[in-house]
Amino acid sequence: MKKILQNPTHTLSCLLFLTGAVFLAYLTYSNLDKGFIFNDEAYYLSYYRNKGESLSFDRTNFFRIFKFLYTPNIYHFRIISITALVLSNFLLCFTVFKYVNFKKNIFFLSFLGVFIGFNSWQINNLIIQQYIGNTILINIGVSLLLFFLLSKKQIFNTLSGFVLSFVLFNGNSHSIVIIPILTFFMVSNLKHWKINLVYFFTGYMVGVIIYFTFLDTLDNFIYQFKFLKEYLSFHKKQHSKTFMVLWCVYLFLNAILPSAITVFFMWKSKFSEKSVAVLDRIIAVIGIITLGLFIFSSQYYIFAFIVFTHLLAVRFWFAKDQPKESKYLILLLLIIPYCLAFGSQTWFHLRLNAYIFYYFLLIFICITKLYKNSIWNLAYLAAITSIIISFPNILHDKGWKDFIFTEQTEKVKINGYDLYLDKRRKKDIEDLRPYLQNQPNVIYSSNHLMGYLYILNASPPIYYYFTLKDYISFIIKKVNKTPDDFIYIESDDYPFYPKEIVPLKFVSHPENYKTVKTGRFTLYLPSNYQKK
């Protein structure tokens, strides 16, 4: 009891991380048999089902790497996916705390990773895809590197190279994360960096060999890049170069520029104690703003959160009492989210939520190591508490998932296994079943309809997000078909975009098509249509 009272905030952190992890785990696992994300989740599951045999413009092969975990039982696969993620978070927390020389209760503190893992994905889109997959691979790979740096046993180094080799295939654009990881690895043990890299790349090459021996072929891998090159001309219509320029400008203004200005003024002041004190006050003010936004306006907190995290990392770097190895690790944790978000085709501040774990870990280390005042720790725990309190709201929030958990009460068979959906979608499935069940050639009006195709075992020429007329025409020719070979499905809620595709104008012989209205959908059936 005396030891507990000596450091109450440390004890409170352990208790809160553990309690939060258990509570969020309970809410997550008890709702994983409910709902279905009809766009993204169906998209990812389709690749597991067809084993990657359909065309894809994605630079990822997550479904090959993680197929050993796959089961057609969506409920079980969700459990496997989120469990693998949070356990990898726990492992990274444990090794990071060991590496930065945390002395007490590392096991319980590591439940921070479990807690943030559940909160990051919020019972949403949990099927292992390139984003969850890369997080798992990076967590395990970096943890093995830290085990090596702590123990000097080369087996951990080689195993790290083996695990990280799969990042190249899991998300090609994200593989740039290997650069900062190797940089950290080399500067952390400069004396033996050459022999260490030999062991690392031995494991890396073994992983590459295993991938091309058992999971994929080199010809298919090269073909993907050829197809990607063909796709790029259409891609510009979806995500223009302006988008990427603005992405970089946003990152510069929100993260790089504030950090650079801070470093410049610290350098000009020769890192005096006065300048450090001023920086601490600035960080405290931004921290208060971030905490307030986090609790009361969560959709806007991320802008202040990024600035706060970067300035805190700068402050840690200038701390004279912190070892350089810990400083290198803090920089790595800061950079990893940038690399994993690279090429993800969405704004960084939106994608960051998938990788926010690294920043929560970084912040906890910094405030614990830099500030002895318990107010910093209490503010951090206030953010944790707000997450615990607000997490149940997910069950009543429609969000981008397009369903509410409490309305998922109707049992539906998917792949022969039970999953609970809402009454409207269950009716949709029964309306569409006579026309789409097992149909191989379907073109749909919106990615929100992917789920119906997945459930009814129907398939398009390629899974797509935007029904671009030129792109669909290109794909149809690529699979040696014509527009007249396809069924067209249009939703009342998500119709075809008139400037792109109007089914009876898109086909060559509209007179051969029959229009059928069923429920909330309109189907255009070709003359050669046969019920399966």
Q: 3-state secondary structure string, 198-220?
A: HHHHHHHHHHHHHHHHHHCCHHH
Identify the bridge partners of residue 525 per DSSP, sorted by sequence position: 514
pLDDT top residue among 83 and 230: 83
State how far the Cα of 304 lies from the Cα of 287, in Å rounded to an integer. 8
Put residue 501 in one of left, alpha, beta given phi > 0 → left and psi -120 to 50 → alpha. Answer: beta
Note the helical H segments in 211-355. Answer: 218-238, 241-251, 257-268, 273-296, 301-317, 324-341, 348-351
pLDDT at residue 159 above 70?
yes
DSSP per position, 108-135: HHTHHHHHHHHHHHTT-S-S--HHHHHH
**Structure confidence at residue 486 (pLDDT):** 96
* Distances from the Cα of 113 to the Cα of 17, 31, 75, 331, 359, angstroms: 9, 21, 23, 18, 11
Nearest to 459, CA basis, from 467, 448, 469, 450: 450
Q: pLDDT category, 28, cuts 50, 70, 90? A: very high
* Distances from the Cα of 331 to the Cα of 155, 326, 488, angstroms: 25, 9, 51
Nearest to 259, CA basis, from 326, 305, 314: 314
- Cβ-based burial of 222 (10 A; exposed 0-12, middle 13-18, buried ≥19): exposed
**Structure confidence at residue 485 (pLDDT):** 94
Work out the average pLDDT over 263-274. Answer: 86
pLDDT at residue 25 above 70?
yes
- b/e for 150-168, b at 16 or more Cβ within 10 A? eeeebebbbbbbbbbbbbb
Identify the bridge partners of residue 281 per DSSP, sorted by sequence position: none
pLDDT at residue 301 above 80?
yes
Question: Which long-range contacts link 288-295 to residues 24+ away (Cβ below 8 Å)?
Answer: 288/379, 291/379, 291/382, 291/383, 294/383, 294/386, 295/382, 295/383, 295/386
Strand 487-491 to 442-444 pairing: parallel
State how far the Cα of 81 lies from the Cα of 65, in Å rounded to an integer. 13
State how far the Cα of 400 lies from the Cα of 368, in Å rounded to an integer. 36
* Distances from the Cα of 437 to the Cα of 75, 419, 429, 441, 455, angstroms: 22, 18, 10, 11, 9
Percentage of the chain modeled with pLDDT above 70: 93
**Structure confidence at residue 59 (pLDDT):** 67
Residues 399-442 have pLDDT tens digits of: 888 899 999 999 999 999 999 999 999 999 999 999 999 999 99
Q: pLDDT category, 345, cuts 50, 70, 90? A: low
- Mapping DSSP onto H, E and C, the string for 483-503 reads HHHCEEEEECCCCCCCCCCCH
Residue 224 contacts by C-beta under 8 Å, 6 or more apart in sequence? 56, 59
Work out the average pLDDT over 271-281. Answer: 89
Identify the bridge partners of residue 421 per DSSP, sorted by sequence position: 410
- Other CB atoms within 10 Å distance of the CB of residue 36: 23
Residue 462's Cβ-side half-sphere holds a number of Cα atoms within 13 Å equal to: 22
pLDDT at residue 167 above 90?
yes
Nearest to 332, CA basis, from 361, 304, 305: 361
Q: pLDDT category, 4, cuts 50, 70, 90? A: very low
pTM of the model: 0.94
